[in-house]
Amino acid sequence: MKKFLAGFAAVLLVAGMVIAAEVESGLKVGEAPDAYNVKDITGPNAGKSLCYRCQYGARPVINVFTRQVNDDLAKLVKEVDKLVEANKDKKMAAFVTVLAEDADKIAPKLEEMAKKNGIKNVPLTIFDGEAGPEEYKISDKADLTVLMWNKQQVKANVAVAKGGKIDDKTIKTVVADSEKILN
């Protein structure tokens, strides 16, 4: 009986992890991203409020929405930064949108992350409010939502549930899916 209960508990634990890893968040493939304003912390418009979605127009764009600023996010952003650099000829662009209630608390963390990791091609920005832009449908059950679009149409969406980890698999998925916006 103890073996059965231990086995059953293990199955529930694994099932819970699978469910926690899968979350729907953000615009669906085929939908159009709307305009929204952010405060640029590290990009070419540092200190200003602007709409990067508007500025980038019909270019291929990776928009990373996050509620966490940590080393795992930095690892993802470094890879996105490399993608943007490698695809300048295709005019690829990207920006990170931290969903936060307290911009003053988050801004120094973003400045440090950019400096420490040599992030040069991806502006790190803050959206005022943890819910994110309403039209983007960012789930409150997600810590990370990566939307990729081209010509104002979402081509890929990658999300990580709250408590999930931005791991190598997530990063590889984002890198692979970025090909969908380069055609």
Domain range for 6: 2-181
Task: Report pLDDT for 22.
Answer: 79
Q: 3-state DSSP call for residue 135?
A: helix
The DSSP symbol for 62 reads E
Task: Report pLDDT for 21.
Answer: 52
Q: ∠ CA 128-135-64 to the nearest 5 degrees?
A: 60
The average pLDDT across 31-42 equals 98
CATH classification at residue 57: 3.40.30.10
- Of 176, 140, 143, nearest to 65 by C-alpha is 143
Number of domains in the chain: 1
Q: Over the stretch 85-109, which tens digit does the pLDDT of each residue have? A: 999 999 999 999 999 999 999 999 9
pTM of the model: 0.88
Question: Is the pLDDT score of 31 beyond 70?
Answer: yes
| Percent of the chain whose predicted confidence (pLDDT) is above 90 | 87
d(CA 105, CA 107): 6
